Amino acid sequence: MVNIAQWLIPALQQIQTLKSQSRLSHALLITGADGVGQESLAREVVKDLMCESQQGKACGLCHSCQLMKADSHPDFRVLEGETGTIKVDQIRLLVKQISQKPQVGKNKVVLITHAQAMNINAANAVLKALEEPADHTFFVLTSSQSSQLLPTIRSRCLLVKVPTPTTRDVAEWLQQDASLQPLSQLFWLTTQPYRLLALEQQGKTALYTELPEKLYAMLTEVSGVSDMVKGIDSKNIDDYCNGLAAILHQCICRSTGSDLAPALEPIYQVLIHRLSIQTLMQRYQALQMLKSDLQKTNLNPIMQLTHELNQW
Ligand SMILES: [Zn+2]
C-alpha cells in the first residue's frame, strides 16, 4: 500500500498542529473533488485523534494506536456512505455508543464518509450532536458534494479542502508502488487517483488496460467484433461501456485540439477516418443509453454491445 499522498500532507500537518496545541475543532469536514483522497486523509486524522499522546501525529505505540492498527478500538465508530443512504437510526445508535466515557484513551471519534449520503433526518441527528458536543468527542465527515450538506452542519465544522492533484502528482504517487504503476496507463479513463486505486482493488486494471488494444484490433479487422465482446457478462458490461465511452470522449476532445493519450492515437486515426465527429458523439450517447438500459432490463449484454460495435 502506498504512503499518504503528497497533496494530502499540508492539510494533515495543519490538523496535527492544531491538535498538538489543543485548538482543534470537535468537528471536521474534509471536502474535495471525487477521488482525490478525502477518505485517506480522514483515516490519518482519525488515527492522530485516537492517539493518547499530546503530539499532533499518532505515536503508533500507545494502547489506542495499537488498537487502531488492529482495527478494534471501542471508541472509534465509522459510517460509510459510499454504498447507500445513511439513515437516522444508524446515527442515533452511533451517538448513543459514543455518549459513554471513552473505554481506552481520552478521545472518541466518529467518522462519516460520503456524508452527502445522510438523509435529512440523519443529517439533523448529526447536527444535534454537533450542537451539544460531548467532551473529547470528534466528528470527522468527508464529502465530495459538500454543498448538498445542511449549511448548519457545514458552519459547525472546520472545513478542510483537499486540492486536486495534477496528473504528474498522480503519476509520481503511482510510481511509489510497483503494483500500481500499470494504472498510469489509464489516464485516458480517469486521473482521479483514488478511482484508479479502486479499479486496482477491484481487479479491473487488466480489463481497462487491454481495451484500447482490443478495440484497435477490431477496427482494423485483425480480429472480429465477436473477439472484442468475448468474456463480457452482466457483471463487467458496465466497465466495457465506461471504457468505450471514455475512449470516444477522448477522441471527440482530440478532434477539437486537446491532447490525446498515446495509447488512443491509433484508434483516433481509424475512427476519424471512418466516422464523422457527429457520429462519434451519437455513438457516445448510444453507449450511455445502452448502459442505463442494461441496468434496468435483462437484455443480453453481448448481443447489445455487438449491435453497437457493428456501427463503429
Ligand atoms: Zn499513540
Q: What confidence tens digit (pLDDT) does each residue in 100-143 have?
A: 888 888 899 999 999 999 999 999 999 999 998 888 999 999 99
Taking the centre of ligand 1 as the mean of its atom positions, its distance from the CA of residue 70, in whole angstroms, is 13
3-state DSSP of 73-85 = CCCEEEEECCCCC
Taking the centre of ligand 1 as the mean of its atom positions, its distance from the CA of residue 282, in whole angstroms, is 57
Taking the centre of ligand 1 as the mean of its atom positions, its distance from the CA of residue 220, in whole angstroms, is 60
What pTM, to 2 d.p., does this model score?
0.86
Taking the centre of ligand 1 as the mean of its atom positions, its distance from the CA of residue 175, in whole angstroms, is 30
Grid cell listed for 301: 449484454
Residue with cell 466495457: 240
Angstrom distance (rounded) from CA 251 to CA 266: 10
Taking the centre of ligand 1 as the mean of its atom positions, its distance from the CA of residue 32, in whole angstroms, is 28
Angstrom distance (rounded) from CA 16 to CA 297: 50
Taking the centre of ligand 1 as the mean of its atom positions, its distance from the CA of residue 106, in whole angstroms, is 11
Determine contact, residues 34/82, Cβ cutoff 8 Å: no
pLDDT > 70: percent of the chain:
99
Taking the centre of ligand 1 as the mean of its atom positions, its distance from the CA of residue 97, in whole angstroms, is 22
Ranges of the chain with pLDDT below 70? 1-2
Taking the centre of ligand 1 as the mean of its atom positions, its distance from the CA of residue 21, in whole angstroms, is 16
First to last CA, the chain: 40
What pLDDT score does 1 carry? 47
